[in-house]
Structure 1
Amino acid sequence: MNKVQAKESFVMGKVLIVGGGIIGLSLAYELAARGKTVTIVEQGDWGGQASSAAAGMLAPLKEFQSVGPLLDLGMESLQSYPRWVEELQAIAGGDVQLSLEGLLTVALDEEEEEAFYNKYLWQKKAGHDVHWLQGKELQEVEPLLTDQAVAAIYSPGEGHINNRFLLRALVTACRKLGVDLRSGCVVSKLLHHAGCVEGVETSSGRIYADHTVICSGAWAGIMMQMLDVSIPVRPVRGQIAAVSSIGIPLRTVIFGSSGYLTPKKDGRIVIGATEDESGFQREVTLSGLAHVLQGALPYVPALHAAAFLEAWGGLRPATADGKPIMGEIPGLRCISLAGGHFRNGILLSVVTAKRMADWLETGNQERLMPFSPGRFLTDTAVPVPSKMG
C-alpha cells in the first residue's frame, strides 16, 4: 500500500474517542459532521466531570497572560464559536445561550490597577479589542459594579455559554449524525500490537478502531500509563457556586483577583472558583464554598441579598506547562491525545475539535505542533509491549 492509499484508508476508517466531556463530544460532532464513522465511550455520564462543572467562560484575553500560540488558539476558538453554535443548534435544536456581550476585569486597588493596565497595554498593542475604563465609565457598562472599583479592562467581544445546554446539544447532534455513543463504558486496557493501538478493552467488551483519540480529561495521564507513556496531566479541583439573579440584573461578566461572576440567561449567576490540589476528590468543601462566595462579594454588593442555589466541584485537567495537549504520541501509531485544557475546555473545545479533525483528515500536524505530546517525552521512541494487549 502506498502512502496515498494509506492516508485514504485512514481518513475513511473508524475513529474511537475515549472520554465524553466537552473535548471528546466536540471532536465526535466535528468528525461526524464531516461524514466520518465515530464511536465515543464515557465511563460515567456525558460531560459529567469538568465540563458540567464549568462556568462556560469564553475569555481568552482574561485567561492568557501573553501573546503566543495559546492566546492565538483561544482567540481562534472564540471567533469560531458563533457559526459553530449556529450550525450545532440547527442540528440539535434548542438554544445553548451563547452570550458575547463583554467582560470586565476589575481592579479594586492601585496595585491591581497597575497590573491590569500593563496587561491592557500589551493586548491593545497586539491589536485586540480592549478598552481601559475608569470612573463613571465602569457603571455605564455594569451598573451593579461596586463603586470601590478603580478601573477595569473591558473586552466587548468576550462572554460565556451555558455549558450544560451545550453538552446536551452536542450529545443530541452526535446521535442525529450517527455517532455510536456508549456511556457507562469503562476502559480497562488499550489494545496494541507492534506499536499500533487497535482499540480498547472495556466493561462491555472490546472496541476496535483505525484510530483512537484519548480525550479523558484529568484521567488522560492514567490512560497513557497503560502504554508505559508518561504524560503529565493531573486533576485540579474547581469548586463553583450559583445564586439566583432575581432582583440582581447583572449583565456583564466580571473578573477580579479573588473571583468571577457570570450572569446566565437561565436565572443564575455562576460564581467561581477554587483551584485545589486534591487528587481525584471532587466534593465541595465548606472552606472552598466560603472562599468562592466571599471572593465575589466585593465586586457586586447586591449579591449579599442573592438566594443561594447550588454548589459543585469538577476536576480540571492541568498540564506541567499550562498548555493543552493535542496530537499523536511519538513512537506510537493510530493513537493521539486531546486534553490538558485545564479551566479552558469550554473555550478551546471548538478550535481543538477543528484542528484535530483537520489533522485526522489530512495528516498535516503543523497547526498542532505547539501543543504536541512530544514536548513532554525525552525520547522519540516510546516503549510499548510488542504483544497484543
Structure 2
Amino acid sequence: MSNCLVVGGGIIGLSLAYELARRGLSVTVVEQGEWGGQASSAAAGMLAPLKEFSSTGPLLDLGMDSLALYPQWAKELEAYTAGDVQLSLDGLLTVALNEREEETLKAKYKWQREAGYDVQWLMGKELQEVEPLLTNLATAAIYSSKEGHINNRMLLRALVTACQQMGVVLHAGCVVSRLAHTAGRVVGVDTTSGPIRADHTIVCSGAWAGIMLEMVGVSIPVRPVRGQIAAVSSVGIPLRTVIFGTSGYLTPKKDGRIVIGATEDESGFQREVTLAGLASILQGVMPYVPALHAATFLEAWGGLRPATADGKPLLGEVPGWDGLSLAGGHFRNGILLSPITAKRMADWIEKGQKEPLSPFLPERFLNADEPSRLINR
C-alpha cells in the first residue's frame, strides 16, 4: 500500500509523483495508455505565461511562479537522467501583422509594463535584429526576453526515468474501473491489473478527470479539446526565436525541428489529425516566416487538452471525500504549470497547506446546497 496513488501519467501526474517521491513518500502511478500520450504530447513545450494569460491575477501569478522554478527543476531532472531536456529561456516574440493586431497587442503591452513585467515593444529594424527570418510585413511585436520553451518529449522521458530512480511504481496500460471507497474515504482504485490501495489518491487524468470523479458522484466540468500540431525540419531555416501570431506559432527546437501549431477542436475524445486541421496549422504560420514554404514536412499529431469552464486549473481536495484530490484542467498550459502544480499539490498532501491552492479549488464548481457525494458510500 502506497502513501500516494497518482491516476494519470501525463506531465502533471509524473511531475507530482516525482515531487512526492523526492519528499520521501511512497508513490504509485497508473496510466491507461502511454506516458504523456494525450495533452502532454499535443504541445510545443511553451513556457510563456505572459503570452498565454490575458490579465494579472492568480493564473498569471501561478504561471510566473512556475516559470521561475523551471531552471532548477530542469537541472535536477537532467542530473537524474544524464540527459538534456532542451530548456531554452531565450525569449519570444508576439507579433502583429497589421494595424488592428497592433492595437490589440499594444493594449497587452501596456498592462504588462504597468504590472512591472520585463517586456519590450519592438518595431522595424528591431524586429529583424531579434529574428531575421520574420516577415517584413510585421508591424510590431512584444518581446519577452525571459520566456521560452522546453522539449516536452524529452521532459516526459526524463520524468519517467527520474520517477523510476526515485522508486515510484509505474503501471502503464492500466485502466481504472473504479475509485475504491469506504465510509466516505477513497482508499485507492480497482484496475484491469487488480486493486491498488493508497492513503491518498490524486486524479491527474487530464480530459478524463470528469469521468473519473463521476465514479464517486462528483460532477466537475472538464472537457476534452483536441490540439493538432505539426513539425517541419529546420534545415535551411535557422529560426532563432519563438514566434506567436494570431493564427499560429513556431517553436525552433534544438533537435532539428520547428514545431508549429495548433488547433483547438471541440471533437469529443477523438485525437486523430484531420486534413482540415493540418491545413489550418500550415496556413496559419507561413505568413510569419516566408522561408517555411520550402520547409520539409516531418510529422503531425494530436492530443486531448483538459479544459475547464473558467479557464483555470483544478487543484486540491475533492469536496465530500477524504483521501481524494484533483490536479487537472490545465488546458494548453500543463507543461508550463507542471513544476508549480507538483510543488503546491505536494505541500497540500504532505503538509496540509491549502491556502496557495484557494483560487483553483475544485469546490468552486459545486453549489453550496448541492451534495458532493451522490452515491451510496
TM-score range, shorter chain: over 0.9
| 1:101-180 pair list within 5 angstroms | 101-180=90-169
Could you tell me how far apart the structure 1 residues matched to 2:206 and 2:82 are?
27
| Residue 206, structure 1, aligned to residue 233, structure 2 | no
Q: What RMSD in Å do the two structures reach over aligned CA positions?
A: 1.0
1:373 is aligned to 2:362: yes
Gaps of 5+ in 1: 1-11
> In the TM superposition, what is the alpha-carbon distance from 1:193 to its structure 2 partner?
1.2
Structure 1 residue runs of 4 or more that deviate by more than 2 Å after TM superposition: 384-387
**Equivalent in the alignment of 2:318:** 329
- 1:382 matched to 2:372? The reply is yes
Q: Does 1:247 align with 2:236?
A: yes
Any residues of structure 2 matched to 1:9-88 within 5 Å, and which? Answer: 14-88=3-77
Shift of 1:93: 1.5
Task: Name the residue aligned to 2:172.
Answer: 183
Question: Quick one: distance in 1 between partners of 2:374 and 2:344?
Answer: 27
Q: Is 1:343 the counterpart of 2:332 in the alignment?
A: yes
The answer (yes or no) to whether the contact 2:6–2:30 under 8 Å persists in 1 is: yes
Q: Distance in 2 between matches of 1:87 and 1:332?
A: 34
3-state SS of 1:105 partner: strand
2:339 matched to 1:359? no
Name the aligned partner's letter for residue 161 of structure 2. Answer: T
The separation in 2 between residues aligned to 1:86 and 1:243, in whole angstroms, is 28
Deviation at 1:190, TM superposition (A): 0.4
Distance 2:76 2:373 in 1: 42
TM-score normalised by length of structure 2: 0.98
- How far the C-alpha of 1:330 sits from its partner, in A, is 1.2
Give the whole-Å Cα distance in 2 for the aligned partners of 1:13 and 1:275: 37
* Contact 1:330–1:381, Cα closer than 8 Å, also in 2: no
- In 2: Cα distance, 1:100 partner to 1:113 partner: 25
1:217 aligns with 2:206: yes
Aligned AA for 2:283?
A: Q
SS in 1 for 2:170: strand
**Aligned partners of 1:47 and 1:352: how far apart in 2?**
16
Greater mean deviation of Cα atoms: 86-95 or 139-148 = 86-95
Letter in 1 for 2:322: R
Residue identity over aligned pairs, in percent, reads 74
Report SS of the residue matched to 2:332. helix
Is residue 28–residue 38 contact of structure 1 (8 Å, CA) maintained in 2?
yes
Q: 1:385 deviation in Å?
A: 3.4
On the 8 A contact 2:272/2:301 being kept in 1, the answer is: yes
- The one-letter amino acid paired with 1:382 is S
- Determine if contact 2:2/2:28 at 8 Å carries over to the other structure: no
Matches of 1:43 and 1:173, distance apart in 2:
20
Shift of residue 195, structure 1, vs aligned partner:
1.2
Deviates more, 1:375-384 or 1:26-35: 375-384
For residue 194 of structure 1, report the CA deviation from its aligned partner.
1.6
* 2:257 match: 268
Equivalent-residue separation in structure 1 for 2:216 and 2:265 (angstroms) = 28
Could you report, residue by residue, the CA deviation over 1:7-40 in whole angstroms, capped at 9, with x for unpaired residues? xxxxx96100000000000000011111110000
CA contact (8 A) 1:43 1:183 kept: yes
Cα distance in 2, alignment partners of residues 132 and 153 from structure 1? 5
Within a 5 Å distance, the mapping from 1:227-238 to structure 2 comes to 227-238=216-227
**1:188-219 C-alpha deviation (Å, 9 max, x unpaired):** 00001121001100001000100000000000
Q: Which of the numbers 97, 109, 120 marks the counterpart of 2:86?
A: 97
Q: Say whether the 8 Å CA contact 1:105–1:153 is kept in structure 2.
A: yes
- AA paired with 1:367? P
Distance 1:384 1:169 in 2: 40
Alignment partners' CA distance in 1, 2:373 and 2:121: 53
Unpaired segments ≥5 residues, structure 2: none
Q: Is the 8 A contact 2:2 2:197 kept in 1?
A: no
Measure the CA separation in 2 of the matches of 1:122 and 1:341: 24
Letter in 2 for 1:150: T
Q: How many residues align structurally?
A: 376
Give, in whole Å, the separation in 1 of the partners of 2:2 and 2:286: 53
